[in-house]
Amino acid sequence: MITKITRFLARFGYYKIGIHLPISYGRFGTFSQKFRAFCAKKFLIHVGKNVNIEHGAMITSLMSIGDNSGVGINSKMHGRITIGKNVMMGPECIIYTRNHAFEDITVPMCQQGFQEEKPVEIGDDVWIGGRVIILPGVHISSGVIIGAGSVVTKDVPSYAIVGGNPARILKYR
């Protein structure tokens, strides 16, 4: 019953898990990390083993996160997001799964609602630098490195190193 309620509420807002707990390193870090992972298992679609959801991260129950992966400090994610195994994420990353509607020029944009949700998928063994923004519908393949401050607008092929705004392929691993 509680799981159904939390998933219903997650469609309307974010959860901040253990916001008053310290970051995952330091004196009480191990306890904080384990407590946030325990809470996440109660309402996320899937939570793998050894998951680290950092202090201040805002997430919803429509998310799935694989083994040995982490969500960075003060990161914001909303909607259907699949994070693979062994994913490292820097602080203050943002993942969007929908945008405002703007098609009808006779109606103000703030009154048009939202476009259809487009899920974001992140493959295994991905390193996402700090303050990266990933836009709706993007698929990031396995082995990718995304440079800090990048804005990812298109799918990223396996083992690519991308950076910039908009992110472009710099080289391959």
100 noted as active-site residue: yes
Closest alpha carbon to 141 in 169, 160, 168 = 160
d(CA 163, CA 149): 8
The one catalytic residue in 20, 78, 100, 139 is: 100
Phi, psi of 10 (to 5 degrees): -65, -25
d(CA 97, CA 136): 4
d(CA 141, CA 122): 6
b/e map of 45-57 (b: 16 or more CB within 10 Å)? eebbeebbbbbbb
d(CA 18, CA 61): 15
Report, as residue numbers or ranges, the catalytic residues: 100
